[in-house]
Homo-oligomer: A and B are copies of this chain.
Amino acid sequence: MKNMIIPIFFLFSLLFSSSLGSIQDFCVADYSAPQGPAGYSCKDPAKVTVDNFVYSGLGVPGNTTNIIKAAVTTAFDNQFPGVNGLGISLARADLAACGVIPFHTHPGASEVLIVIEGTLCAGFVSSANNVYLKSLNKGDVMVFPQGLLHFQLNAGNTSALFFVGFNSPNPGLQLLDFALFKNDLPTELVAAASFLSPAEIKRLKAVLGGTG
């Protein structure tokens, strides 16, 4: 019986094998090859293993002993090669009591958030300057449309944990305070383009290490 099966299998296999040699269901990032607008070059499929599709870095709480009492840990394509080219990624955020993920945008992606522990106050502002603000509890989900300014505050007495998903392998993350105050953009330009007072700008530049 086995003798009969082998040739059948052989015939069956012939069918698609030649054309399927390089079928590309995924494009695991090869960090040593050129990167293009659509992402990293693809690792040789023969060298891809399941570990390229698994990431354990989000299992560890971030260190929240810092000024914002919060930490964001990302699983974007530059850390997690399996998401390259697949249009998806995620991140975790840990907030100690009084912690905050301050105003920020993701230039190239929408975000969905799910609360795992604690209570948040989360909000975003639309182009029409409307505020969408909500208290979120464990299990609540909130979506933040692409590119809009948003923030998440720990609104409870205990630490909070949430995960976010993005529809891009590299959504970007522009923190408002960093963009305004943590670089060498001259104070007078920041003032002219933001209407903030020079004193306030200098104060925050000092906190964040900006110059100018």
Contacts and interface: CB of A to CB of B under 8 A. Distances in A.
A209 to B, nearest CB: 4
Contact of A200 (B5, B90, B125, B200): B200
Determine how many copies of this chain the complex contains.
6
B58 A114 contact: yes
A12 to B, nearest CB: 4
Interface in A61-103: 62-63, 65-68, 70-76, 78-80, 82-90, 100, 102-103
- In this complex, the interface size class of chain A, counting residues with CB under 8 Å from chain B, is 35 or more
Contact of A37 (B85, B182, B197): B85
B102 A105 contact: no
Interface string A192-207: 1111110010011011
Nearest to A141: B55
Contacts of A200: 196-197, 200
A151 B193 contact: yes
B148 A176 contact: no
A175 B140 CA distance: 27
Interface string A16-52: 1001111111110010011111111110010001110
Interface centre among A60, A85, A87 (most CB of B within 10 A): A87
A157 interface: no
A147 B147 contact: yes
A55 B139 CA distance: 9
A75 B141 contact: yes
A12 B66 CA distance: 6
Interface string A169-212: 01011111111101111000100111111001001101111000
Contacts of A37: 27, 38-40, 42, 84-86
Contact of A127 (B2, B67, B145, B173): B173
Contacts of A60: 139
Given A20-B127, A23-B78, A23-B170, 9 more contacts: A16-B175, A34-B42, A54-B142, A57-B141, A59-B139, A75-B141, A88-B111, A90-B112, A125-B180
